[in-house]
Amino acid sequence: MNKSSFLSEVVQASGQTIQACYQCQKCSAGCPIAYAMDILPNQLLRHIQYNHREKVLGSKTIWLCASCYTCSVRCPNNIDIAKVMDTLRAMAIRSGIQAGEKDIPLFHSVFLNNIKSKGRIHELSLLLQFKSKTKDFFKDAQLGWKMFKKGKIKIFPSKFGGGKDIKEIFNSFEKGERR
Amino acid sequence: MKIVSYYPGCSLHGTAKEYDESIRGVAEILGIELHELEDWTCCGATSAHSTDEELAINLAGRNLAIAEKENRELLVPCVACYNRFKVAEKEVKEHPEKSRFLYKGDIPIRYSLDFFCEDSILKELEKKISKPLKGLKVVCYYGCLTVRPPDLTGIKQYENPEHMDNLMSLLGAEPIQWSYKTDCCGASLVLTRTDIVKRLSGRLLLMAKEAEADCIVTGCPMCQANLDTRQDEIGKQLGDHFEIPILYFTELIGLAIGHKDVKKWLGHHMINPIKILSTKGLI
């Protein structure tokens, strides 16, 4: 394995022996979201073995994975595929390659901003911030109203928690510091 | 009296309010004092672990460090937070350099369902049952992270778990066997790829209906919300009609021990559970 290859980079960052995949396809057979993916999980592992960096990091698959761990527990070679997906998403964000799914990485960044400013997730402001980016204000508006009437929507966020720690965590993340 | 640290997590202060209220209510009757973790913050959830490993470890780790200082067992009702804590715990034990918070991993992190299924608590619970849930047919929906990955959850029967089913039997309900106990509901894709969540949750609703269950029981705020909030839309899409209450296991414990606030908890649900419970003479 070439040490500077994409395969080696993913193996090192995830700690998973991706070379061990022999294409039994058990991961894809059990994946509840395989039907919506552009590259099946077993195919994705093959592409990594072949160092197809752009194809893998630009795929829909890495964003659609819901981290249900079904593949990870069934892999006969003990590859924690859900963890590989985490590694690939993080690499994709840093790579600048256009994401295969538009809204999902956007949602994650809005979500993290919500933690950064409030310490805890405040569901209502998270939803509004996300909608202000997708411009899709009407989707689920009726549902939101029904949930409000059931007392499920908290109007005001809790007091900011963990101020200094949260600031430091995000500072170090934004500077790309590694411990 | 048993005292534990309690990390409610963000959902339990919002959409999963009834989960928080019912855990607090049930714990009180069982003689468990919940001490809310001082100045807790978000565990980081899917967005952190999908973005950066260290960010995920530190957002979870901050809470673990506080819990360790409080030096009590940590009770976590949201299974998604629980998963983040267990992942962080493992990583920090193996690579302490990845964490900016001092955490040795000395306190037990307990997911609520596992906690309430412990022998000592079940024994206590059995004594308190005053209104057995006779005639209530339930399907237990464990979802993903309650059981997976087993090296973190410690659940041996991760393909066919039975601890929630056994708890339901103890309460007097009738757990029905079905094949969808640990299938995914679509989780956090609900706001971004609602179509996927509707398809996955739709299958669960369809199968629960086919099993002739009166309700679905869960211990995950995300599963509860995905299954409870969109039954109308899903029904229309599938040319079917669903009206299946999605209950937290703690609400059913509360019902069986005759907790005075059960109706208040059930009032937060989108699919009203009171209808079916009153036809069974349980409320």
Q: Does B261 touch chain A (CB under 8 A)?
A: no
pLDDT-derived band at A55 (thresholds 50, 70, 90) equals very high
Structure tokens at B21: 């209220």
CB-CB under 8 Å, B191 with A33? no
Q: How far is B130 from chain A (nearest CA, A)?
A: 28
Position A46 scores a pLDDT of: 98
pLDDT tens for A93-113 read 999 999 999 999 999 999 999
B residues 56..95 contacting A (CB < 8 A)? 58-59, 62
* Residue B54 sits at the chain A interface (C-beta within 8 Å): yes
Chain-centroid distance, C-alpha B108: 18
Task: Name the minimum distance, in Å, from the CA of B129 to any CA of chain A.
Answer: 29
Q: What is the mean pLDDT of chain A?
A: 94
- Report if residue B120 sits inside a domain: no
> A interface mutation test: which of B7, B40, B41 has the most A CBs within 10 A?
B41
B84 and B46 in contact (C-beta within 8 Å)?
no
Please check whether residue B39 touches A, CB under 8 A.
Answer: yes
Check whether residue B188 and residue B244 sit in a common domain.
Answer: yes
pLDDT at B8: 97
> What pLDDT does residue A163 have?
84
Residues in chain A closer than 8 A to B196 (CB atoms): 33, 36, 64
B-chain CB neighbours of A140 within 8 Å are 194
| Nearest chain A residue (CA) to B98 | A179
Tokens in use for A55? 């194809």
- Note the pLDDT tens digit of each residue in A13-36: 999 999 999 999 999 999 999 999
ipTM over 0.90: yes
| Touching A: B residues 207-246, CB under 8 Å | 229-230
Q: Give B40's contacts in chain A (Cβ within 8 Å).
A: 120, 161-162
Q: Are residues B148 and B23 part of one domain?
A: no
Between CA B62 and CA B85 the distance in angstroms is 10
- pLDDT, residue A179, reads 62
Q: Which residue has the tokens 């590989």?
A: A84
H or E segment at B45? helix B45-49
d(CA A12, CA B15): 39
Cβ separation of A123 and B230 shorter than 8 Å? no
Interface probe for B, chosen from A35, A74, A121 (most Cβ of B below 10 Å), is A121
In this structure, the answer to whether residues B166 and B37 fall within a common structural domain is: no
B272 touches chain A (CB under 8 A): no
Select from B45, B79, B114 the last residue of a domain. Answer: B114
Question: Which tokens hold the place of B77?
Answer: 């009702």
Give the 3-state secondary structure of residue B155: coil
Specify the pLDDT at position B77. 98
Q: Is residue B126 part of a domain?
A: no
Structure tokens at B199: 């398809």
pLDDT of residue A159: 74
Both B110 and B136 in a single domain? no
Nearest Cβ partner for A169 among B14, B55, B144: B55
A50: closest CA of chain B, how far (Å): 23
pLDDT at B185: 97
A62 half-sphere exposure, CB direction, 13 A CA radius: 31
Residue A156 pLDDT more than 90? no
At A71-98, the pLDDT tens digits run: 999 999 999 999 999 999 999 999 999 9
- At B15, which CATH number? 1.20.1050.140
Q: B2 - beta bridge partners? A: B32
Residues B68 and B39 in one domain: yes
Inter-chain residue contact A130 with B191, CB threshold 8 Å: yes
A135 Cα to chain B: minimum distance (Å): 13
Domain count within chain B:
2
Same domain, B102 and B22: yes
Residue B119 lies in a domain: no
Does residue A139 surpass a pLDDT of 90? no
- Would you state the pLDDT for residue B169? 98
Domain boundary, last residue among B61, B89, B114: B114
d(CA A8, CA A103) in angstroms, rounded, equals 29
What average pLDDT does this structure show over A134-142? Answer: 88
Which CATH number fits the domain that encloses residue B169?
A: 3.40.50.11810
Q: Which amino acid is at B103?
A: Y
Using alpha carbons, select from B73, B9, B64, B63 the residue that is nearest to residue B35: B73
Q: Is residue B186 part of a domain?
A: yes
B124 belongs to a structural domain: no
Which residues in chain A have Cβ-Cβ distances shorter than 8 Å to B183?
Answer: 32
Contact list in B for residue A115 (CB cut-off 8 A) is 41-42, 44, 48, 59
Q: Comparing C-alpha atoms, which of B209, B215, B218 is closest to residue B282?
A: B215
Q: Is the CB of A158 less than 8 angstroms away from the CB of B13?
A: yes
- Name the domain boundary from B114, B139, B161: B114
- Domain, as residue range, for B177: 131-279
Residue of A nearest to B148 (CA): A69
Cβ–Cβ below 8 Å for A162 and B41: yes
Task: Inform me whether the C-beta atom of residue B194 falls under 8 Å from chain A C-beta atoms.
Answer: yes
pLDDT at A177 over 80: no
Q: B130: exposed, middle or buried (C-beta count within 10 Å: 0-12, 13-18, 19+)?
A: exposed
Distance CA A135, CA B82 (A): 33
Nearest-CA distance A45 → chain B (Å): 18
In a domain, B232, yes or no: yes
Tens of each residue's pLDDT in chain B, 283 residues: 899 999 999 999 999 999 999 999 999 999 999 999 999 999 999 999 999 999 999 999 999 999 999 999 999 999 999 999 999 999 999 999 999 998 998 999 999 999 999 999 999 999 999 999 999 999 999 999 999 999 999 999 999 999 999 999 999 999 999 999 999 999 999 999 999 999 999 999 999 999 999 999 999 999 999 999 999 999 999 999 999 999 999 999 999 999 999 999 999 999 999 999 999 999 9
Distance CA B283, CA B276 (A): 9
Specify whether the CB–CB gap between B267 and A150 falls below 8 A.
yes
Residue B197 lies in a domain: yes
Nearest by CB to residue B45, choosing from A64, A109, A111, is A111
> Do B168 and B100 fall into the same domain?
no
Residue A161 pLDDT greater than 90, yes or no = no
Structure tokens at A5: 């290859």
- Taking the CB of residue B277, how many other CB atoms lie within 10 A of it? 22
> pLDDT over 70 for what percent of chain A?
98
Amino acid at A93: I
- The residue-averaged pLDDT of A132-156 equals 89
Burial B91-120 (b: 16+ CB within 10 A, else e): bbeeeeebbbbebeeebebbbbbbbbbeee
Put simply, the answer to whether A124 touches B14 (Cβ < 8 Å) is yes
